[in-house]
Amino acid sequence: MNIMGTLCVYAAICKHEGLSLKFPGTKGAWECYSIASDADLIAEQRIWAAVDPYARNEAFDCVNGDVFKKWKHLWKVLAEQFGIENYGFVEGERVNLEEIMKDKEAVWEEILRENELQPTKLEEVGQWWLVLTAENALLCMNKSKERGFLGFRNSKNSFITWIDKLKSYKIVP
């Protein structure tokens, strides 16, 4: 699943309505170190695995190769990219995106019109069942590296790149 569309649309709606960008996950996920997988890196690795004889008939994990600092750090980046000052994890509050987004289709249509974005339906650009709960779920790229795939992404830079791409493709403002 690619969560960037979901996160960016959620941020755009929060910005449009002047709401706080609340973290839709657990305190553990907010505080722990984590990993990410850039879609372009996954594609590169799949191409490599299809053509390199050392990768034939093998299964590989694919992650960026770094451990990003914490969701609280990436959440700040998301808020900054959308000009939102009030953001974060709210202790004792369960943030349910399905509940928050269930009546936002008209808001999304207004955002599309005002910003001349690509015509999309809210359910096409967001997966509102998303809850960030993974705590210390780490994967290793050693097997790929040992067989010759040395691809890498800086997760923070990747996060910003995908936000910029979604903006440049006029999916989000």
Domain ranges of the chain: 4-168
Q: Which CATH code fits 4-168?
A: 3.40.50.720
Q: What is the pLDDT of residues 46-66, one digit of tens each?
A: 999 999 999 999 999 999 988
Phi-psi map region of 8: left, alpha, beta (phi>0 left; psi -120 to 50 alpha) = alpha
| Measured distance CA(138)–CA(154) in Å, rounded | 15
Tell me the pLDDT of the chain averaged across its residues: 93
Q: Which residue has the higher pLDDT, 166 or 134?
A: 166
> What is the residue-wise DSSP string for 47-77?
HHHHH-GGGTT-------SS-BS-HHHHHHH
Give me the amino acid identity at 120: T
- pTM given for the model: 0.91
pLDDT-derived band at 1, boundaries 50, 70, 90: low
Q: What is the pLDDT of residues 64-115, one digit of tens each?
A: 988 776 899 999 999 999 999 999 999 999 999 999 999 999 999 999 999 9
Q: What integer pLDDT is reported at residue 138 of this predicted model?
A: 77
Q: What is the pLDDT of residues 23-46, one digit of tens each?
A: 999 998 899 888 889 999 999 999
pLDDT-derived band at 133, boundaries 50, 70, 90: confident
